[in-house]
Chain A
Amino acid sequence: MKHLLNNADYFLKEVKAIVRINLLSNILSFISTALIFFILAMVISGWWMSNHVIAVIQGEAEINAYFAESISSAEVIQLADAIKRIDGVREAQLINEGQAYARMVEILGKEARVLEYFDENPFSPFIEIKIHLERMDAVLAELHLLSGIEHVRDNRDVLERLRNLAGIIRFLGYLIVTAVGISTLVIISHIIRQGIDNNREQINTLRLLGAPESFIAFPFLLVGLLLSIGGGILATMLAAYALRYVYAQVAGPLPFIPLPPRETLVLNLIILIASLSTFLGIAGSLFGLFAAKNNQ
């Protein structure tokens, strides 16, 4: 460790020399590492977002029960009471036409103007039932037994579709993580090997002078780290920028999609890409060093 600090200036010069001797390859490797990490960042963000959306929707497991218009308001209250007694129901609340309308205005946001085209309120009153998610099927079965209920709407369908989507994104995520791992390792180890080949003579001299292998290898490790961490930083910056755009696109027109806070998402991305790029940079350099050593 002392070697390393005392010779910091030398190592930096070595890094510069190693990079400069094969500048074009190094620049291209840097760019492709950055792009690979960027794709990873975007897919991982999609994965996290869909997980968040599912978690929120699951937390809000609810059923809307619509009743026949013919029944009186006293009967409706009785009905709500009966529903409350069903095992698995947390809450049952009557939502009248006015409230239903107000909610839709809220959900639609700016687009609520379309509601003005209706002469009268197009929404029916219903009973909003908050339930324990795991009891969903039992509650639905019992609801159907109650008289006065015309039809029931639940969000199982939406949840199911979201889960499928999340499954696909997760699968993509695994593929991308594997691809990122392999290609970063290949790129970095290849560039390190090339650097070593270009510096054979100097390495040989250092060996004759008795330099420790770690001293000889360190500049190459630095080059590998520089490429992968540099690429990671560039990718994170691009991803943060892209996410800002995505959030702007989603949050305005689709305010009801519950996205995780952007700051948290970006912070997690930074942590993930930083640790992954450090790990891959070190591993790639070591691969390159070993490959060069076995080949000498």
Chain B
Amino acid sequence: MIEAKNLCLRYADGTLALHDINLHVEPGELVYITGPSGSGKTSLLKLFMGVEFPTSGTLKVLDHAVTKGQASNIRRLRMALGPVFQDFKLVKGRSSLENIMLGMRFFGFSSREIKENAREALIRVGLEHKAESLIENLSWGESQRVSIARAVVRKPALILADEPTGNLDRDNALNILEILKACKNEKTAVIITTHATHLINENDGRLIRLNGGAVERTDELK
């Protein structure tokens, strides 16, 4: 599902954000990526989404090679992903439901299917009572849940959630992690970056610790 070999990313200003990353993720896996600020967590997810491209090494995500200059290939990769952004990237002036629908409007579903799926996703994150609320009127945690619903509604093969627990109190953070973990199934893998390692009480999955752009250690959670 993800196949990274000797992956390096150097930004245009010379910052070496990632180096020598070797990573293999199977369908149905749950992977936590942690590490101090600036260790390269977001950069790694950007590579997975084809927002940045490897400066050296190779990266394959969902059978799509992540290389520069292959716009349609990258677009198809992105269609198969369920991204949850650190800053949500929800459309203001629109309701929660409309934002979730936007996640699957270009998949060829009928307008009824789009609406029904969006409602289901909203129920899944426990926000059915906020269907018609405008994005700018939602709390931080609610916005986070809408953005997860927008990812989930796409029935993605891979969910990439960047810092979904940031800025949330303990209860809310746990709630978000529960929702994300519940998205994992035999076909869907989930990758979550987080600072909040103390909230991970997992008996399943992997914890990858980045430091200075390299993998410092990997723990199998048992």
Contacts and interface: CB of A to CB of B under 8 A. Distances in A.
B70 interface: no
Interface stretch (B24-32, B104-112, B123-131, B178-186): B104-112
Contacts of B78: 207-210
A214 B80 CA distance: 18
A116 B98 CA distance: 81
A6 B111 contact: yes
Contacts of A208: 49, 51, 78, 83, 85, 89
B76 interface: yes
Interface in A174-230: 201-202, 204-212, 215
Nearest to B150: A209
Interface residues of B, number: 27
Contact of B106 (A8, A13, A205, A211): A211
Given A205-B89, A208-B78, A210-B81, A7 B108 contact: no
Contact of A212 (B77, B80, B106, B109): B106
Contacts of B102: 10, 206, 209
Given A17-B93, A202-B91, A3 B79 contact: no
B75 A6 contact: no
A157 interface: no
B76 A6 contact: no
B103 to A, nearest CB: 6
A215 B51 contact: no
Interface string B89-103: 111010000100111
B114 interface: yes
Interface in B178-210: none
Contacts of A3: 105-106, 108
A9 B105 contact: no
Interface string B24-63: 0000000000000000000000000101000000000000
A215 B93 contact: no
A6 B83 contact: no
A2 interface: yes
B88 to A, nearest CB: 9
A55 to B, nearest CB: 54
Interface string A3-37: 10011111001000100000000000000000000
B111 A7 contact: yes
Contacts of A9: 111
Interface string A123-162: 0000000000000000000000000000000000000000
A6 B89 contact: no
A209 B83 contact: yes
Contacts of B51: 208
Contacts of B108: 2-3, 6
B97 to A, nearest CB: 12
B51 to A, nearest CB: 7
Given A210-B75, A210-B78, A210-B81, A215 B105 contact: yes
A205 B91 contact: yes
A201 B135 CA distance: 15
Contacts of B77: 210
A62 to B, nearest CB: 68
Interface of A: 2-3, 6-10, 13, 17, 201-202, 204-212, 215
Given A3-B105, A210-B77, A210-B80, 19 more contacts: A2-B108, A6-B105, A6-B114, A7-B105, A7-B106, A7-B111, A8-B111, A10-B102, A202-B91, A205-B91, A206-B102, A208-B83, A208-B85, A209-B102, A209-B103, A210-B75, A210-B76, A210-B79, A215-B106
19 contacts: A2-B108, A3-B108, A6-B105, A6-B108, A7-B105, A8-B111, A10-B98, A13-B98, A17-B93, A204-B89, A205-B91, A208-B85, A208-B89, A209-B78, A209-B103, A209-B154, A210-B75, A210-B78, A212-B106
Q: Which 6 A-B residue pairings sit nearest by Cβ, starting from the closest?
A: A210-B78, A210-B79, A205-B89, A215-B106, A6-B111, A211-B106
